[in-house]
Amino acid sequence: MDRRDILGGGLTLVTIALAGSGRAAAKPGVELPDDARFMEQALAEASRAAFPFGAVIVKEGAIIARGHNRTGVDRDPTAHGEMVAVRNCLKEHGPEALVGATVYTSGEPCCMCMGAMVWCGVSRVVYAASLAQLSTKVDQINLSAEDVASKAPFAPVDIAGGVLADKAIALFK
């Protein structure tokens, strides 16, 4: 695993190295031109939730599903922003749509959400606030998204973190 901080702004590039897996490694987690624009939409979702977490799912340049944390309103502890977005996507488009999709999420996915995205074949995850940053606001299971992804070499996921992280953290009052 190769982790580098660049730009001094908290943007973290993460490369999942699949050493010895016999497959090509996932591409480095570079920030792409549209990332900030889609992250703004994930943050807009987050701003609608009591626990400010939100996500959007993008396929071929378009948002195909949205979700925000509904753990309180639905009385469902698994209703994290990413899980709600994934379920909305499944309902509206079926599982094929998630294969190769990108998930933009206001916070680094927990192991439950990251596991769900691996099983769904999501190929790229972009998050704003890191687990370490979120841990200063709410309880977090201390297992990073890249740790989860690195244990699933059958489904390489490209991960980029730190996109609009300050804006995501500012949503916590």
Q: How far is the CB of 80 from Zn ion (least distance, A)?
A: 3
CB of 25 or CB of 111, closer to Zn ion: 111
| Contact (Cβ atoms closer than 8 angstroms) between residue 148 and residue 115 | yes
Q: Can you say how many angstroms the Cα of residue 23 is from the centroid of all Cα atoms in its chain?
A: 23
Cα dihedral 117/109/170/140 (nearest 10): 150
Helix (H) or strand (E) holding 166: helix 165-170
CB of 38 or CB of 127, closer to Zn ion: 127
Q: How far is the CB of 123 from Zn ion (least distance, A)?
A: 19
Q: Distance (Å, rounded) from C-alpha 162 to C-alpha 141?
A: 19
Q: If binding is defined by CB under 5 A, does position 120 make contact with Zn ion? A: no
Q: 82 catalytic, yes or no?
A: yes
**Dihedral of alpha carbons 16, 113, 35, 92, sign:** positive
Strand partners, 124: 102, 158
In the set 31, 45, 60, 82, the catalytic residue is 82
Q: How far is the CB of 83 from Zn ion (least distance, A)?
A: 6
Residues numbered 60 to 119 that lie near Zn ion (CB under 5 A) are 80, 110, 112-113
Give the total of residues touching Zn ion (CB under 5 A). 4
CB of 114 or CB of 160, closer to Zn ion: 114
Q: How far is the CB of 145 from Zn ion (least distance, A)?
A: 10
Taking the CA atoms of the chain, what radius of gyration do you get in angstroms?
Answer: 15
Closest by Cα among 150, 148, 18, 21 to 82: 148
CB of 110 or CB of 122, closer to Zn ion: 110
Phi, psi of 69 (to 5 degrees): -55, 130
Residues that bind Zn ion (CB under 5 A): 80, 110, 112-113
Q: Which residues are catalytic, by number?
A: 82
